[in-house]
Amino acid sequence: MRLAVHEAATRMCWLLVQRSARHHIFSAISVGDLDLIRKLAEENPEALDRRMSCFEQGQTPLHFAMSRKRYDILDLLIELGAELEAEDKNGRTALAVAMLEGDREAMSRLHAAGAKQPKPIDTSNFTAKMAKMADSTTKVVPMITVPDVARTLDWYASIGFKEVGRYEDDGLVNWGMVSLGKAELMRNMHGKPGQHDVSLWLYTDQVDNFYQLLKIPAARSRASYACW
């Protein structure tokens, strides 16, 4: 899915340029034009400090190149003087994101360039802190990804579940929810045959606090990547 989005963005960039739109640093990264990236940065060094919108997590050029797995562009941005300690909207440097995602290639390059190790996340009293958040959670609903949401909803209905709702985009059902008594189950598209990813959706009015807490187990699960 991510690859499809990237390919669509690249095609859109070329289409806009053909219609006289001007490139900026992110569109140059999107189309993968190393010479253009160098030209834009040399003409305006501040281009390396630009941020994407909040919808793209305020990524810097370093973050963006890394998200596209363009390590050649990552190297070029480092060579051109991109700020290694620049943070995205969530306060994460490019190295911090690479560590969270287990991107060894990006980690190696950023570390070799002198990027600082992110500050360790305080993991003390995690269980106690989560327990305090329990009262703010009204319910938890599991969501399973499947290749065909519509057929899955029909199957659940055939065995006695009640369809709560579904969402369609261009005639394709890509989300749905069923219930059985007080139990609810969501289905989302993008699954592959024989492979079902599961996530838990928490209903709470303490979203930001939960996000900060849940970064702790994420950091623990990537602990091995923090060792050099």
pLDDT(59) > 90: yes
Edge-to-edge strand list for the sheet holding 198-204:
162-169, 172-180, 183-188, 137-145, 198-204
- Tell me if 133 is assigned to some domain: yes
The residue among 1 and 15 whose pLDDT is bigger is 15
CB atoms within 10 A of CB 189: 19
DSSP string, 74-118: HHHHHHHT--TT-B-TTS-BHHHHHHHHT-HHHHHHHHHTTPPPP
The residue among 214 and 167 whose pLDDT is bigger is 167
Residue 48 sits at the vertex; the CA angle it makes with 81 and 16, to the nearest 5 degrees, is 140
- Tell me if 142 is assigned to some domain: yes
- Tell me if 19 is assigned to some domain: yes
Q: Are residues 108 and 146 in the same domain?
A: no
The pLDDT, as a whole number, for residue 57 is 82
Q: Are residues 103 and 143 in the same domain?
A: no
- Tell me if 228 is assigned to some domain: no
* Global pTM exceeds 0.75: no
Residue 37: CA count within 13 A, CB half-sphere: 27
Place of tokens 């360790």: 120
Place of tokens 């994101």: 97
- Tell me if 117 is assigned to some domain: no
pLDDT(114) > 90: yes
pLDDT tens, position by position, 37-56: 999 999 999 999 999 887 77
- Round to whole Å and give the CA distance between 29 and 146: 33
Tell me the residue range of the domain where 80 lies.
2-112
CATH, residue 188: 3.30.720.120
The pLDDT of 159-180, averaged and rounded, is 92
